[in-house]
């Protein structure tokens, strides 16, 4: 008797050239595949993407256009379940249409009597209480709900979703692994400091202060500053802005920008080759933790603080309060004693990596 095949549609912010969200997708795909093998079922994903051709080419899966109703409807009709997530999908900070879109996809799947699953989402902020009853009603129809932090679970409880129905798990990217073909890199003769930045403040004050911190770091000892753009092309422009304000470097130091790490596992390898990661992007910090690279978080959103809290850490700076000297001092401390940081976080990281697999285990067991 042949292996059972189950088709699972996956809805999220996919195909937008955001390395963090693409990493979420890659992590979910790998977790479903691994768990399917373990439970004896072949999982065939159908990804809802704004760029289905690119998504199919990058991950070797079927994809349909997320904004073409007929394509989405057909995919949901033939699937055996729908995953919504991960990432921060149900929030209205980026616009009023975001929550209605993701709820509509869930509601359509439920209309077709397909099981719907919430996969390690970060819920909120939801500034408009008018959305509460819609989220509550649709979530009540989901046989499995997981969120990536306690704050998300608390917000759902405030909306009326029973707390005992919500599982708190790490971001899926904590379970992302390197490509099997990834070659081990030779260590640089000087420390490599990975930097992930984005535009946030209108006056760019946080980037100006980060540039001052990076300048202070290399003045205290030679290093290579490697910028890692996670969202193209915006983060490339933000990186360029910081590079211009660092100015000329002391002898022995260098600055460079990674331009070709489009696939999430390629970016994971870039982060893994660093001796320290200074990041604004959430998934740059998650990549660093998963690869046991000491990290410094720059907070622009509560999700940064929530992740750092799970590692027993706090942000060294924020976009509202940025002390360049403090960041430089913390960077030097971690560069001088990386083993101390790694040893103190090893058990926490291992636990988060194991817990990141739980949603896939639950979902496959339901659809098989």
Q: Same structural domain for residues 154 and 207?
A: no
Look at residue 175 and tell me if it is in a domain: no
Q: How many helices (DSSP H) and strands (DSSP E) are in the chain?
A: 14, 13
Task: Provide the pLDDT for residue 183.
Answer: 65
Q: Same structural domain for residues 281 and 320?
A: yes
200 burial via Cβ count (<10 Å: 0-12, 13-18, 19+): middle
Sign of CA dihedral 198, 201, 206, 208: positive
pLDDT, average across residues 338-351:
97
Q: Same structural domain for residues 156 and 215?
A: no
Look at residue 178 and tell me if it is in a domain: no
CATH of the domain at 299: 3.40.50.2000
Q: Same structural domain for residues 231 and 122?
A: no
Of 1 and 62, more confident: 62
Q: Same structural domain for residues 342 and 288?
A: yes
Could you list the residue range(s) of the whole structural domain that residue 131 is in?
4-168
Domain count, the chain: 2
Look at residue 181 and tell me if it is in a domain: no
Whole-number Å distance between alpha carbons of 100 and 111:
16
Cα 110 to its chain centre, rounded Å, is 27
User: E strands of the chain, at which residues?
Assistant: 4-11, 41-49, 62-65, 82-87, 116-121, 144-147, 166-168, 192-196, 224-227, 254-257, 276-279, 295-299, 317-318
Q: How much of the chain exceeds pLDDT 70, in percent?
A: 99
Task: Provide the pLDDT for residue 194.
Answer: 98
Domain final residue, candidates 168, 184, 210: 168
Contact 223, 253 (CB under 8 A): yes
CA distances from 235 to 18, 225, 228, 283 (A): 10, 15, 8, 13
Q: Which is it for strands 82-87 and 62-65: parallel, antiparallel or unpaired?
A: unpaired
Would you say residue 238 has pLDDT above 90? yes
- Between the two ends of the chain, the Cα-to-Cα distance in Å is 15
Q: Same structural domain for residues 161 and 224?
A: no
**What torsion, rounded to 10 degrees, do the Cα atoms 155, 161, 163, 169 define?**
-70
Task: Provide the pLDDT for residue 2.
Answer: 66
Which tokens belong to 104? 């509509």
Q: Same structural domain for residues 200 and 345?
A: yes
Contact 123, 157 (CB under 8 A): no
Q: Same structural domain for residues 288 and 198?
A: yes
Contact 293, 276 (CB under 8 A): yes
Look at residue 177 and tell me if it is in a domain: no
- pLDDT digits 0-9 by tens, 206-226: 999 999 999 999 999 999 999
133 burial via Cβ count (<10 Å: 0-12, 13-18, 19+): exposed
Q: Same structural domain for residues 22 and 156?
A: yes
Would you say residue 181 has pLDDT above 80? no
Phi then psi for residue 201, to 5 deg, are -65, 140
Which tokens belong to 279? 């990041």
> Sorting pLDDT into bands at 50, 70 and 90, what band is 180?
confident
Look at residue 360 and tell me if it is in a domain: no
Look at residue 338 and tell me if it is in a domain: yes
Strand partners, 190: none
Q: What is the mean pLDDT of the chain?
A: 95
> Sorting pLDDT into bands at 50, 70 and 90, what band is 266?
very high
Look at residue 365 and tell me if it is in a domain: no
- pLDDT digits 0-9 by tens, 68-92: 999 999 999 999 999 999 899 999 9
Of 277 and 302, more confident: 277
> Sorting pLDDT into bands at 50, 70 and 90, what band is 237?
very high
């Amino acid at each position: 008797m042949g292996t059972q095949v189950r088709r699972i549609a996956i809805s999220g912010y996919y195909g937008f050239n955001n390395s963090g969200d693409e990493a979420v997708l890659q992590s979910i795909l790998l977790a479903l595949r691994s768990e399917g093998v373990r439970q004896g079922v072949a999982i065939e994903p159908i990804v809802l993407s704004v760029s289905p051709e690119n998504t199919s080419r990058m991950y070797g899966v079927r994809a349909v256009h997320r904004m073409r109703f007929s394509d989405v409807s057909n995919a949901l009709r033939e699937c055996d379940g729908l995953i919504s997530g991960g990432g921060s999908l149900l929030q209205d900070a980026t616009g009023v249409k975001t929550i209605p879109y993701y709820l509509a996809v869930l509601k359509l799947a439920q209309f077709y009597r397909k099981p719907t699953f919430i996969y390690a989402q970060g819920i909120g902020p939801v500034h408009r209480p008018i959305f509460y009853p819609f989220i509550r009603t649709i979530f009540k129809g989901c046989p499995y709900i997981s969120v990536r932090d306690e704050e998300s679970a608390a917000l759902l409880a405030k909306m009326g979703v029973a707390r005992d129905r919500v599982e708190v798990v790490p971001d899926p990217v904590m379970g992302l692994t390197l490509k099997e073909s990834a070659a081990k890199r030779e260590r640089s003769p000087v420390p490599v400091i990975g930097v992930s930045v984005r535009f946030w403040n209108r006056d760019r004050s946080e980037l100006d202060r980060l540039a001052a911190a990076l300048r202070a770091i290399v003045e205290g000892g030679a290093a290579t500053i490697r910028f890692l753009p996670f969202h193209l092309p915006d983060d490339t422009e933000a990186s360029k802005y910081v590079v211009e304000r660092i100015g000329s470097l002391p002898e022995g130091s260098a600055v460079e920008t990674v331009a070709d790490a489009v696939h999430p596992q390629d970016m994971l390898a870039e982060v893994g080759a660093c001796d320290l990661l200074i990041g604004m992007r959430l998934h740059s910090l998650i990549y660093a933790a998963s690869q046991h690279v000491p990290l410094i978080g720059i907070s622009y959103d509560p999700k940064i603080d929530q992740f750092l809290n799970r590692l027993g850490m706090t942000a060294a700076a924020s976009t509202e309060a940025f002390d360049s000297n403090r960041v430089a001092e913390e960077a030097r401390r971690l560069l001088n004693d990386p083993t101390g940081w790694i040893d103190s976080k090893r058990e926490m990281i291992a636990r988060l990596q194991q817990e990141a697999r739980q949603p896939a285990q639950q979902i496959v067991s339901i659809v098989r």
